[in-house]
Amino acid sequence: MAADRTARTVWHGDLMSGSGTFSLTSGAAADLPVTWASRAEESSGRTSPEELIAAAHATCFSMALSHGLAQGGNPPTRIETEATATFDRTDDGFRITRMAITVRGDVPGMDEAAFVEAAQGAKANCPVSKALEGNVEITLDAALA
């Protein structure tokens, strides 16, 4: 089973003063604005590639954690995940240097230690974590709500 997902960007002008929009071919988002300033300075209502990767990571992690908990006999009532991608200049140029995941879960019948262990498993095994592995430091703050 392979699934292809496509996004499209149209960019006008140079990096510093130009701007663009991106759309998801699924139709879930269309013509969302992006600029260098929204990437490296203040977002001002526009997005960035790093924010999109953070959204993908938070979603992927939540799905992996939900599945792992349910497989272990503790289906969650609610999982709330925030992922923050840090975009920074390094000696090798600009890159994502860190992804900080914070998750809070409502999981009836589960203790804190078991939840943290399940969250560690989701961090290690979600496909976005695996894509970032070895390139980006990934931290995790997990607790029951």
* In the chain, domain spans: 7-40, 49-144
Token pair 């990096």 is at which residue? Answer: 15
pLDDT tens string 86-95: 999 999 999 9
Per-residue tokens: 4: 């292809």
Instruction: Indicate the angle between helix axes 112-125 and 49-71, nearest 10 degrees.
Output: 130
pTM of the model: 0.94
Neighbouring residues of 143: CB distance < 8 A, sequence distance ≥ 6: 103, 104, 105, 112, 115, 116
pLDDT tens string 22-56: 999 999 999 999 999 999 998 889 999 999 999 99
* CATH homologous superfamily of 49-144: K homology (KH) domain (3.30.300.20)
In whole angstroms, give the CA distance from residue 138 to residue 136. Answer: 6
